[in-house]
Amino acid sequence: MATTTALLLQVFVLVSIFLSTSITTAAGGGAFATTPLQEPSSPPPPLFQEPFHASTSQPLIHEHAYPSSLIGPILANLGFHGFSAAAPSIFNTTTWSGPTTIFAPSDSSLLSCRSCSVPLLLHEHTVPGLFPLHYLRTLAFGSKIETLSPGRCITITLSNSSEVYVGGVKITRPDLYNDGLVTVHGLQGFMSHLSPYSCEVERMTSLSFPHTPPASPFLMRMMLKDTMLRLTISGYGVVALALRVKYPDLLNLHSMTVFALDDVAIFSGAGFDYVTHFRFHVVPNRLLMATDLESYLTGTLLPTMEQEQKLVVTTDGRTGGPNAPIGINYVRIKSPDLMYNLKIVVHGIYMPFPHIHQTVEGDLSQVAQSGWKAEGKSNIPEIVAPTPVIESMIEMDDPHGL
């Protein structure tokens, strides 16, 4: 009898250990075990971690298709279970595969419209492009952005206290999630479907993009679409058009810095010079944030997409004082870091860059070189190896400048 009891006790212990191990393993795999309708007290971290860029503090996402299957878990982890359940329907049917912003209403807000279709609401609250809160605050009052629901636009309005409203519903939990490809804002308020006439006034339509070979870099393609869309609705439509015209060439770049002139300045008289020399305003394969430009000494040379032509830093953080605007080719930067993403940064300028004569360029380089030698350094902080002599100003072969 004692032997039988001991044997049963051993079997019970083994079964208990097995069940405990199974439960622990299952719990470890449940990455999104969030109680329904329970909103987390603090924003959760991204679902996957990537190395961060030193200048922008944004993750350097590898160049592969963003897994749209993660959208549902991201929304669920943030507490938006209604939109999470509808995520498969939208991302299985949409043709947009670039950066995306989702204005997600709380589950209680969804219940305020019992006749609404949640999948359709998700379409109507999802827009192509990245729109963090600080960027939404720069948009003109009443700006309209077309959503993933064709012919439906959301309207962005702001209060006197800089609170942002989307279709009359307040953003109460801004920038809950942003991994450089997907941004999520939380909304709280009454929900309803967008009107079929929501885009009639100052309609902002999505840009159409030329066919791209399958081998083109996926991430640069997305970042270009994002940049063109955001420039178009920010008053830089000509620059957006120029990027579209040069789209096939720009896809081969690793990154780029664009110095942009707004539409008002272009159509007021500076348009011809800027458009004909647009490539002179693009620094290829360099993501130069304002902090990077401020660190360069006077005379630092920046390469451009215009053959053998370089830009020159003419005002730096030392010669112009700590708060002085950066000067490139004697033109001040009007809006540093006007917009940026993982591959592209755009700075606003007051006027097109003039071409600097080679002797002036050489003198500025000598100033920078002597300044660094005084600090015990031997080289200019050049972006590329300097050209000792530029024999002539080489004009573009393209008569239209694009």
Supply the DSSP string of 8-55, one letter for each residue: HHHHHHHHHHHHHHHHHHHHHH-TT---TTPPPSSPPPPSS--PBPTT
Q: Which residue has the tokens 């939109």?
A: 83
68-188 and 218-373 share one fold: yes
pLDDT at 240 (0 to 100): 94
Q: Which residue has the tokens 């609250």?
A: 125
pLDDT at 150 (0 to 100): 86
CATH number for the domain running over 68-188: 2.30.180.10
Q: How far apart are CA 311 and CA 326, in angstroms?
A: 13
pLDDT at 269 (0 to 100): 81
pLDDT at 94 (0 to 100): 58
Take residue 149 and report the two structure tokens written for it: 């629901």
pLDDT at 202 (0 to 100): 43
CATH number for the domain running over 218-373: 2.30.180.10
Nearest partner of 301 among 363, 370, 217, judged by Cα: 363
Q: How far apart are CA 279 and CA 136, in angstroms?
A: 29
pLDDT at 295 (0 to 100): 87
Q: Which residue has the tokens 């830089």?
A: 236
> Which stretches in the chain have pLDDT values below 50?
11, 13, 15, 17-65, 202-215, 366-382, 384-400
Q: Give residues with Cβ within 8 angstroms of 183, minimum separation 6.
A: 99, 100, 101, 102, 130, 131, 132, 175, 177
Domain ranges (residues) in the chain:
68-188, 218-373
